[in-house]
Amino acid sequence: MPSLFRPFCTLLTLAGACFGGISAHAQYDADSFGDSRDVVGVTSVVSVKEVRPGDAFVVAVVFEIKPGWHIWTSEASLKTAPPDIARYDGAIWTTIALESKEATTPIAAGIDSIQWPEFHNARADLGEGPQNFSVYEGRAIAFLPIQLALDAQAGPLSIPLVVSFQSCNDSVCMAPADVSMKVSVNVGPSNVPAAEMAHFANFDPSVLQKMNGADSVSTTAPSNAVEFRFFRWSFSIGTDGVGFFYLLLVAATGGFLLNLTPCVLPVIPLKVMGLAASADNPRHAFFLASVMSAGVICFWLALGLALSFITGFEQANQLFQFPAFTIGVGVFIAIMAIGMAGFFSIGLPSWLMSIETKNESTSGAFLFGIMTAILSTPCTAPLMGAAAGWAVTTESPTTILSVFAAIGAGMASPYLLLSAFPKLVARVPRAGEGSEVVKQVMGLLLLGAAAYFIGAGINQVLATPSAIYWWFVAAIGASAGLWLTRQTLRIARGWRIRTFFSVIGIAIAASSVYIGVELGQGERIHWTTYSPEVLDAALKDGDVVVLNFTADWCINCKTLEKGVLESNLVAGLLDGDDVLALKADIGREAAAKDKLRSEGFVTIPLLIVIAPNGETVLKATDYTPDQVAQAIEKARGMRTQ
pLDDT in tens, 483-524: 989 988 888 878 888 888 899 889 989 988 888 887 777 677
pLDDT band at 544 (very low <50, low <70, confident <90, very high): very high
pLDDT for 176-200, tens place per residue? 888 988 888 888 765 655 655 556 6
**Better pLDDT: 164 or 37:** 164
pLDDT band at 42 (very low <50, low <70, confident <90, very high): very high
Q: Starting from the edge strand earliest in sequence, which strands make up the sheet with 130-136, in order?
A: 120-125, 130-136, 70-72, 167-168
pLDDT for 614-626, tens place per residue? 888 888 887 888 8
pLDDT at 31 over 60: no
pLDDT of residue 113: 76
pLDDT for 7-27, tens place per residue? 344 334 333 333 333 233 334
Residue 127: CA atoms inside 13 Å, Cβ hemisphere, count?
A: 9
pLDDT at 135 over 80: yes
Task: Quote the CA–CA distance of 485 and 508 in Å, as a whole number.
Answer: 10
Per domain, the residue ranges of the chain are: 6-220, 231-462, 468-522, 528-636
pLDDT at 271 over 80: no
Tell me the average pLDDT across 111-120.
79
Max CA pair span of the chain:
106
Task: Quote the CA–CA distance of 272 and 371 in Å, as a whole number.
Answer: 15
Tell me the average pLDDT across 111-140.
77
Task: Quote the CA–CA distance of 547 and 635 in Å, as a whole number.
Answer: 13
pLDDT band at 91 (very low <50, low <70, confident <90, very high): confident
pLDDT of residue 298: 92
pLDDT for 229-268, tens place per residue? 665 566 667 676 677 888 888 888 888 888 777 667 666 6
Domain 6-220 identical in fold to domain 528-636: no
Task: Quote the CA–CA distance of 163 and 119 in Å, as a whole number.
Answer: 17
**Better pLDDT: 5 or 589:** 589
pLDDT for 316-368, tens place per residue? 666 777 788 888 888 877 877 776 665 544 444 555 445 444 446 777 778 77
Sign of CA dihedral 604, 605, 611, 617: negative
**Better pLDDT: 391 or 486:** 486
**Better pLDDT: 553 or 339:** 553
Q: Does domain 6-220 have CATH number 1.25.40.10?
A: no
pLDDT band at 563 (very low <50, low <70, confident <90, very high): confident
pLDDT of residue 418: 74
The domain defined by 528-636 folds into Glutaredoxin (3.40.30)
pLDDT of residue 287: 83
Task: Quote the CA–CA distance of 242 and 257 in Å, as a whole number.
Answer: 23
DSSP string, 306-330: HHHHSTT---TTGGGGSHHHHHHHH
pLDDT of residue 28: 46
**How far apart, in Å, are the Cα atoms of 277 and each of 412, 418, 423, 491?**
19, 12, 12, 21
Task: Quote the CA–CA distance of 347 and 97 in Å, as a whole number.
Answer: 74
pLDDT of residue 14: 32
pLDDT at 60 over 50: yes
Q: What percent of the chain has pLDDT over 70?
A: 69
pLDDT of residue 214: 39
Q: Is the pTM of this model over 0.85?
A: no
Q: What is the mean pLDDT of the chain?
A: 75
The packing angle between helices 384-394 and 397-420, to 10°, is: 150
**Better pLDDT: 552 or 634:** 634
